[in-house]
Structure 1
Amino acid sequence: MKLLTCPLNGQRNITEFTYGGEYHPMPDHQQASSREWAEHVFFHDNNAGIVIEWWCHSASSYWFLAQRNTISDKILRTFPADEIFNQRVDFAPAPEVSSEAAPTTKGESC
């Protein structure tokens, strides 16, 4: 049985966790182009060796980071996200779209 240590809930069976993808730093939201945002969201390095990844303990919905060697699949350490994220990032609200400018399709439903 493979075990993973959650920083909040302790050591648990790996089946209690959901992999969230590789961590990579967020670009500056005020300076980044649409291309930079797309690359941040959709492209991943997938490097062999030591990487930092997002993991979620499904039962508690607690997200944390794990440092893992992708070659040996050994987890070196797990830690709370606040070790990296120590400041709040406020995004400007999206501009509102008027109902006249929004395209509609007749007969369309949810």
Structure 2
Amino acid sequence: MQLISCPWCGPREETEFHYGGQAFVEYPARPADLDDVEWAHFLFFRANPRGEFAERWSHSAGCRRWFNAVRDTVSYQFAGTYKPGDPTPKQQQKNGAVQ
């Protein structure tokens, strides 16, 4: 079983978490102006890269808070987790901060 590090609670078993999809998906500026095809693209079409990917996760069996993570989609290994609004793990490494 893999451990996922909640930014508030620390490392916990992966069964305590739920995947929330791709991070940083912007809500449409004028949602009333979207047709059905545009809504479908907003709701269902997401990137599916091979490698590092920014995601949203919820610590549903713990503090119940949402957080962001960078995870490798090939190995399933987490590069880091962080609170919304905090720098990504890559930015933290560049600034010399500890993850």
Both proteins in one fold, TM over 0.5? yes
* RMSD after superposition: 2.1
Partner of 2:30: 30
Matched-pair contact (CA < 8 Å) for 1:24–1:40: no
| Bigger-Rg structure (1/2) | 1
Determine the C-alpha separation between the residues in 2 that align with 1:66 and 1:24: 11
| Per-residue Cα deviation, 1:91-110 (whole angstroms, up to 9, x for no partner) | xxxxxxxxxxxxxxxxxxxx
Deviation at 1:61, TM superposition (A): 1.3
Gaps of 5+ in 1: 85-110
Name the TM-score, length of structure 1 as normaliser.
0.65
Deviation at 1:49, TM superposition (A): 0.9
5+ residue gaps, structure 2, are 88-99
Relative to the length of structure 2, the TM-score reads 0.72
**Percent identity for Structure 1 against Structure 2:** 37
Distance in 1 between the 2:86 and 2:28 partners? 19
Which one-letter code corresponds to 1:33 in the other structure?
L
Shift of 1:28: 4.5
Could you say which residue in structure 2 is the equivalent of 1:55?
Answer: 57
How far has the Cα of 1:27 moved from its partner? 4.7
